[in-house]
A and B are shown apart, each in its own frame.
Chain A
Amino acid sequence: MSKRIDVEHLKVYYGDFLAVDDITMQIEPRAVTAFIGPSGCGKSTFLRTLNRMHEVIPGAYVEGKVNLDGENLYAKGVDPVRVRSQVGMVFQRPNPFPTMSIRDNVLAGVKLNSRRIARSDADELVESSLRSANLWNEVKDRLDKPGSGLSGGQQQRLCIARSIAVRPDVILMDEPCSALDPISTLAVEDLINELKAEYTVVIVTHNMQQAARVSDKTAFFNIAGTGKPGRLIEYAPTQEIFNKPQEKATEDYVSGRFG
Chain B
Amino acid sequence: MSIATTSSKLIGRQAPRWLPLLIGLCALILGAALSALIGFSIGLWAVFAGLIFVIAGPVVVGMLEGSRKGKDAFARYLIYGAFLLALIPLVSVIWVVLGRGVPGLSGNLLGTSMNGVSGVTDNEAAQGGPAYGGAYHAIVGTVMITFWATLMSVPIGLLTAVFLTEYSDSNRAFRWMGRVITFLVDVMTGIPSIVAGLFAVALFVQVLGDPSARFGFIASIALSVLMIPTVVRNTEEMLKIVPNELREASYALGVRKWRTITKVVIPTAMSGISSGVTLAIARVIGETAPILVTAGFVASINFNAFSGWMTTLPTFIYYQIMNPTSPTNPQVSEDRAWASALILIILVMILNLAARLIAKIFAPKTGR
Contact = CB atoms under 8 A, between A and B. Distances in A.
Nearest to A100: B365
B263 A149 contact: no
A245 to B, nearest CB: 32
A167 to B, nearest CB: 10
Contact of A166 (B253, B264, B364): B253
A162 interface: yes
A146 B245 contact: no
Interface string B236-261: 00000001011111111111100110
A99 B362 contact: yes
A91 interface: yes
A113 B366 contact: no
A85 B253 contact: yes
Interface string A88-109: 1101010111111100000011
Interface in A50-67: 51, 53, 56, 58
Nearest to B257: A81
A58 B249 CA distance: 17
Contacts, number: 98
Nearest to B260: A112
B41 interface: no
Interface string B165-184: 00001110000000000000
Contacts of A88: 252-253
A45 B205 CA distance: 58
A257 interface: no
B344 to A, nearest CB: 34
A84 B254 contact: yes
A97 B254 CA distance: 15
Interface string A118-151: 0000000000000000000000001001101110
A98 B248 contact: no
Nearest to A93: B245
A109 B253 CA distance: 5
B171 to A, nearest CB: 8
Contacts of B247: 56
B252 A112 contact: no
B255 A99 contact: no
A51 B252 contact: yes
Given A109-B253, A163-B253, A56 B365 contact: no
A59 B362 CA distance: 34
B368 interface: yes
A112 B256 CA distance: 9
A149 B366 contact: yes
A162 B253 CA distance: 8
Given A56-B247, A112-B260, A113-B259, A142 B252 contact: no
A145 B169 CA distance: 36
A31 B247 CA distance: 29
Contact of A112 (B259, B366, B367): B259
A95 B249 contact: yes
Contacts of A145: 365, 367-368
A114 B256 CA distance: 11
A52 to B, nearest CB: 9
B246 A56 contact: no
B314 interface: no
A97 B253 contact: no
B160 to A, nearest CB: 20
Interface in A19-63: 51, 53, 56, 58
B267 interface: yes
A170 B256 CA distance: 19
Given A53-B248, A84-B252, A145-B367, A58 B259 contact: no
Interface in B49-63: none
A115 B365 CA distance: 24
27 contacts: A51-B252, A53-B248, A53-B251, A56-B251, A58-B171, A84-B252, A84-B253, A84-B254, A89-B252, A91-B249, A95-B245, A95-B248, A96-B249, A97-B246, A97-B249, A97-B250, A98-B268, A98-B365, A99-B364, A101-B365, A112-B250, A112-B260, A113-B254, A113-B255, A113-B256, A113-B259, A146-B365
Interface of B: 169-171, 243, 245-256, 259-260, 263-264, 267-268, 362-368
Closest 10 CB pairs of A and B: A85-B254, A146-B365, A98-B364, A149-B368, A89-B252, A109-B253, A95-B245, A84-B254, A112-B255, A95-B249
Given A109-B254, A149-B368, 19 more contacts: A53-B251, A53-B252, A81-B255, A84-B252, A84-B253, A84-B254, A97-B268, A99-B267, A99-B268, A99-B364, A108-B250, A111-B263, A112-B263, A113-B254, A145-B365, A150-B368, A162-B249, A163-B253, A166-B253
Interface of A: 51, 53, 56, 58, 81-86, 88-89, 91, 93, 95-101, 108-109, 111-114, 142, 145-146, 148-150, 159, 162-163, 166
